[in-house]
Amino acid sequence: MRIARVVGNVVSTIKDESYYGYKLMIIEYLDENGEPDGNRLIAFDAGQAGVGDTVLVNVDGGAANMLLDKDIIADVTICGVLDSFTYDGKTTRLN
């Protein structure tokens, strides 16, 4: 799992039937200082996140299946919106 920030969303007029009703969001991973780390990715949103939210992202392909109890193909899944996190003894409050 990694921490990321939602920076946009994806609009799709045609998608797999199993995706209807769910959002695809653009995320960027964050380092321990809250700075962007690496390329932006598209993530399946199972956590009801919005643009600007800091989120917990699972990079296991089976996470979406477990969270939604249905067969979804998604390598990167937003599992929840974070209120705070603690790293190296320092707590950072978010949102």
Query: Tokens for 94?
Result: 């978010």
Measured distance CA(58)–CA(17) in Å, rounded? 22
Residue written as token pair 């991973």 = 29
pLDDT tens digits, one per residue of 43-70: 988 889 999 999 999 887 676 666 666 6
Looking at the predicted structure, is the pLDDT value of residue 75 above 90? Answer: no
Residue 49's pLDDT is what? Answer: 93
Please compute the mean of the pLDDT values over residues 16-20 and round it to a whole number: 76
Domain parsing of the chain, residue ranges: 2-93
Architecture of domain 2-93: Beta Barrel (2.40)
Is the distance from CB of 73 to CB of 16 less than 8 angstroms? yes
